[in-house]
Amino acid sequence: MKINNLFTPLATPATTELFEKLLTTPHLLLEKIVSTGQATPPGEWYDQDREEWVILLSGSAGLTFAGENQILSLRPGDYVHIPAHKRHRVEWTDSAAPTIWLALHYSNIPPLLYFKSEE
């Protein structure tokens, strides 16, 4: 068994955003994202098939959702649930220090049926 650390610096050029898969199953993806000043290109939106729960661990970022005029300013510890197909974009990320995100992408899984035997 190996111990890993979410805050271990990753070698990445400042011009690219880094995505690291931490856990993958058929119904979920847990990933670490490191941003260094990146933003969603103008006019583009994310429109994902899966639900997403994301928490900001370090740095800062601004998110906008389609149909809303407000930019949500995220600081460490802030988290957001993004429903599937809720169009959104990253307006900005901190360019002075890495912005580290932990994102959980998941599909709605039908509840398991439990059967109780009658005695």
Provide the pLDDT for residue 7: 87
- Does position 111 have pLDDT exceeding 80, yes or no? no
Provide the Cα torsion 76, 79, 85, 91; round to 10°.
-30
Query: Is residue 45 within 8 Å of 87, Cβ to Cβ?
Result: yes
- Does position 113 have pLDDT exceeding 60, yes or no? no
Mean pLDDT, residues 33-54? 95
Q: What's the CA gap between 48 and 83, in Å, rounded?
A: 9
Residue 90's DSSP bridge partners are 63
| Tokens describing residue 13 | 């050029």
The CATH code of domain 28-106 reads 2.60.120.10
- Does position 89 have pLDDT exceeding 80, yes or no? yes
What's the pLDDT tens digit per position in 71-80? Answer: 999 999 999 9
How high does pLDDT run on average in the chain?
89
In this prediction the pTM is: 0.83
